[in-house]
Amino acid sequence: MGVLKKFEQRLEGLVNGTFAKVFKAEVQPVEIAGALQRECDNNATIWNRDRTVVPNDFIVELSTPDYERLSPYSGQLGDELAGMVRDYAKHQRYTFMGPIKVHLSKADDLDTGLYRVRSRTLAGSTDQQGAPP
């Protein structure tokens, strides 16, 4: 990862973290969607000229209040976020190694309005290139 990209991520984290702490804003699904797109961009692996592989398994860690607010909708929200990732990947010409999954998780060390995204590439039974399973 380049120096500029690291600086941009630290600045984004500082700004988002500061605003979330000062204004106690709740995490919104659109913020999560943007974070998932950045996660794909930041973890894209070029396999060859025609294939760039990105993560397909995402865990969104939320503060306890945000998790309690969003968890009743976690199935539908996860499906919608996965669809957004799929559409974004199609436009970027990214490829997945398996089905796209987005899970919500509670993290006790996060304050309201803060979240963390972890991702990994998991092989599935089919190769997907921005297409629905």
Percent share of the chain, pLDDT over 70: 75
CB 60 within 8 A of CB 52: no
Give the per-residue pLDDT at 124. 81
Q: Which amino acid is at 49?
A: R
Of 127 and 56, the structure prediction assigns the larger pLDDT to 56
Q: How do residues 10-69 score in pLDDT, each as one tens digit?
A: 545 544 554 444 446 788 899 999 999 999 999 999 999 889 999 999 999 999 999 999
C-alpha span between 86 and 81 (Å, rounded)? 9
User: What ranges do the domains of the chain cover?
Assistant: 26-120
Going 80 to 86 to 92 to 94, the CA torsion angle's sign is positive
Is domain 26-120 given the CATH code 1.20.1050.90 in the classification?
A: no
Whether the CB-CB separation of 71 and 79 falls below 8 Å is answered with no
Tokens of 93: 């010409």
